[in-house]
Amino acid sequence: MSSLLSKLIGSLRRKPPELKCKAQVWRDGVGELRRRTLLSTRESGAFLLGVDEGPSKRILEFVFYDDIDPNALASGIVHFDGTKFPRLWEHCRTRGYGVVADVHVHPGSYGQSSSDMANPVIPRAGHYAVILPDFAVRQTKPGGIGMYEYLGDGRWNTRTAEGSKFFKLD
């Protein structure tokens, strides 16, 4: 019984991270998000494109909202115009990537706003949303950022506390 239990616990511990990204790709992408806040005066955000890697999803590219929708950051709060999605899908097709997650920067805490919860960027179960606090000038790595999994039907699972067990920079 106890050996079965320790096996179960062992397999839980070995559970691979659901999200992975090369540390350099993450650092560069986050740096660009920080730059696009224009000295912490507005939010910025990006789609995180990538591929399946075994049981994990690997983030390979940031596609910044304002590169596809020039007005996405204009109000100070990120808002991506849904009519611009065909440009994103075209880019994904060219690369052979899918949209794994999205990331946006908050002025303050990394908690989801009511608007973030009500309007998932990609309303598909299994999509992940990452929120960087403090205009991405302080904490930018798993353990200090908000991480959320969309479950569908307006419901979210908060994965923040799992830190690098959920999202590993490698």
Q: What is the binding site for Zn ion (CB under 5 A)?
A: 113, 116
Nearer to Zn ion, 148 or 167 (CB): 148
Q: How would DSSP label each residue in 59-127?
A: EEEEEEHHHHSTTTTTTSS----GGGHHHHHHHHHHHT-EEEEEEEE-SS-SSPPHHHHHS-SS-STT-
Closest-by-Cβ residue to Zn ion is 116
Least Å distance, CB 66 to Zn ion, is 16
Closest to Zn ion by CB, 71 vs 113, is 113
Query: Nearer Cβ to Zn ion, position 113 or 157?
Result: 113
Question: How far apart, in Å, are the Cα atoms of 10 and each of 19, 30, 39, 49?
Answer: 20, 34, 45, 31
The least distance separating Zn ion from the CB of residue 39, rounded to whole angstroms, comes to 19
- Residue 116 CB, shortest distance to Zn ion, in Å, is 4
Phi, psi of 97 (to 5 degrees): -110, 165
Cα 26 to chain centroid, rounded: 11
- Of 100 and 131, CB closest to Zn ion: 131
Q: How far is the CB of 10 from Zn ion (least distance, A)?
A: 37
